[in-house]
Amino acid sequence: MTTVNKKPFYKDLTFQVIAAMVLGIAFGFLAPELAAKFKILGDIFLKLIKTAVAPLVFFTVVHGIASAGDIKRVGKVGLRALIYFEVVSTIALALGLLWGNLLNIGSGMHDAHPSSAAAAAASAAVSKGHAPASTMDFIYGIFPDNFVGAFAGGQLLQVLVISVLFGFALLALKPERRSVIEDGLSRISECFFEFINLIMKFAPLGAFGSVAYAVGANGTAVLMSLANLVLMFYVCIAFFIFVVLGVVCRISGFSLWRFLKYIKDEIFIVLGTASSESALPRLLQKLEKFGCSKQSVGLVLPTGYAFNLDGTSIYMSLCVLFIANAYGVPMSWEQQLGTIAIMLVTSKGAAAVSGGSFVVFAATVTAIGVLPVEGLALLFGVYRFMSMAIATCNTIGNSVATVVVSKWSGEFTEQTAKAEYSRVFGRNPQAAL
């Protein structure tokens, strides 16, 4: 029987990120003004991560399509993924709306008046994000007018369009010519993964800076006034992950709890940085090791980052009701169902604009036309705390989606998954997933 040499606990990335978050919270409470200045650490880390996200999405999607070797095979995986995304996203939206109605969320805050600084910050975030003004604008914005510009602007939806078209163009080439290009793309992709592995060593610093800023900049007063919203949002997120996704995993033949333990490093990185992009490169590697085929990982995971934003969906539906109740604006069930229809479209843009979920939420509030935009400033103060749960839910949801769609499409090797569990946890390789 072989023994596994475990590295010291203090060298484990999960421990380092958790410790950094705890120190960041303490620092934020003890020296709030100084802690707020440490935002730069989190910003630098996220900027470094984002330098590799668009190229990695391009390489993995193109390689995933090319390695399938058959357009029908690509279509089978892609169609099932899109159906899964729409069904689960709709459940997430409905759950947030139902939870908000049951709690009558925000009803006790009629006298809330956000500060001018918060209002200005919220306005700046919205204008910087350039959120789509309408459904037609959103659809038009998906298609790039410049190959390089989509990468330079970090427009993930545009990069996906380019990647899919390029992948199909690669499939149209003769096998001998295609193999040379595939080999080159694979080698460059490996280099980008090593680049990301180097950046990830700075994840604890990024988590410390981000959390210290969130606590220091907002202070205890804002945290206490909106504590109910934040707490209930976390409860709703937890319910979605452990109940909704848990049922999906059980139906698909694997344990959600074991799977979460397998990707725990990535979960804590996302929780600390409040960015689902920070875990994408590692998950692309890890899910393939888990037994999902290269083409299914390359297609489903990056596409899910644009089309399967479960945490964003819950945030949007819950916060719409919060603003309505906080400002005494009644919303009928017809209006709420209409809101779900709008958010089914606008939530897909969260990965395509700078500012993420908050910017797209602002676009939705504007599109509805019945809610006061001042409510955006009310939520902006605690968005950082909510964004940690949003990003974590999005990451878990897309990881589960990749495994589920892979299993449904016959692109999953169960023995590989069992062997990986055995390697990581020391479990019996014949045990159930």
Locate all alpha helices (DSSP H) within 132-263, ordered by sequence.
Answer: 135-142, 147-152, 156-171, 175-199, 203-225, 227-239, 246-252, 256-262
Q: Is residue 430 part of a domain?
A: no
Lowest mean pLDDT among 93-107, 227-241, 377-391: 377-391
Lowest mean pLDDT among 175-184, 209-218, 412-421: 209-218
What is the mean pLDDT of the segment spanning 103-120?
60
Task: Round to whole Å and give the CA distance between 173 and 167.
Answer: 10
Task: Round to whole Å and give the CA distance between 391 and 312.
Answer: 8
Does residue 415 surpass a pLDDT of 60?
Answer: yes
Q: Is residue 34 part of a domain?
A: yes
Q: Which residue has the higher pLDDT, 250 or 108?
A: 250
Task: Round to whole Å and give the CA distance between 93 and 336.
Answer: 11
Q: Which amino acid is at 141?
A: G
Does residue 120 surpass a pLDDT of 90?
Answer: no
- Number of folded domains that form the chain: 1
- Return the top range by mean pLDDT from 13-22, 43-52, 262-271: 262-271
Does residue 69 surpass a pLDDT of 70?
Answer: no
Task: Round to whole Å and give the CA distance between 400 and 248.
Answer: 9
Q: Is residue 3 part of a domain?
A: no
Q: Is residue 44 part of a domain?
A: yes
Residue 233 confidence (pLDDT): 94
Contact 218, 382 (CB under 8 A): yes
Lowest mean pLDDT among 29-38, 109-118, 278-287, 364-373: 109-118
Q: Which has the closest alpha carbon to 62: 297, 292, 277, 405?
A: 297
Q: Which has the closest alpha carbon to 106: 231, 252, 20?
A: 231
| Model confidence band, residue 59 (pLDDT cutoffs 50, 70, 90) | confident
Q: Is residue 173 part of a domain?
A: yes
| Model confidence band, residue 87 (pLDDT cutoffs 50, 70, 90) | very high
Phi, then psi, of 412 in degrees rounded to 5: -125, 135
Residue 406 confidence (pLDDT): 93
Tell me: the pLDDT tens digits for 256-313? Answer: 999 999 999 899 888 887 778 778 888 988 999 999 988 889 888 888 887 788 998 8
Mean pLDDT of the chain: 79
384: its two tokens: 């950082």
Task: Round to whole Å and give the CA distance between 168 and 31.
Answer: 54
Tell me: the pLDDT tens digits for 313-322? Answer: 899 889 888 8
Residue 404 confidence (pLDDT): 95
Tell me: the pLDDT tens digits for 344-354? Answer: 766 665 554 44
Q: Is residue 6 part of a domain?
A: no
Residue 123 confidence (pLDDT): 55
Residue 306 confidence (pLDDT): 73
Does residue 208 surpass a pLDDT of 70?
Answer: yes
Task: Round to whole Å and give the CA distance between 123 and 114.
Answer: 12
pTM for this entry: 0.70
| Model confidence band, residue 117 (pLDDT cutoffs 50, 70, 90) | very low
What is the mean pLDDT of the segment spanning 92-111?
82
Residue 112 confidence (pLDDT): 47
What is the mean pLDDT of the segment spanning 329-341?
78
Q: Is 292 helix (H, G, I), strand (E, B) or coil?
A: strand
| Model confidence band, residue 396 (pLDDT cutoffs 50, 70, 90) | very high
* DSSP one-letter string for 61-117: HHHHHHHH--HHHHHHHHHHHHHHHHHHHHHHHHHHHHHHHHHTTTTT-TT----HH
Question: What proportion of the chain, given as a percentage, has pLDDT over 90?
Answer: 17
Residue 326 confidence (pLDDT): 76
Q: Is residue 433 part of a domain?
A: no
Does residue 170 surpass a pLDDT of 90?
Answer: no
| Model confidence band, residue 220 (pLDDT cutoffs 50, 70, 90) | low
Q: Which residue has the higher pLDDT, 396 or 70?
A: 396
Q: How far is CA 179 from the centre of its chain?
A: 33
Domain enclosing residue 340, as ranges: 13-425
Q: Is residue 257 part of a domain?
A: yes
DSSP code for 143: S
Residue 115 confidence (pLDDT): 47
Task: Round to whole Å and give the CA distance between 42 and 291.
Answer: 33
Assign residue 72 the CATH number of its domain.
1.10.3860
What is the mean pLDDT of the segment spanning 165-171?
86
Lowest mean pLDDT among 16-25, 28-37, 54-63, 397-406: 54-63
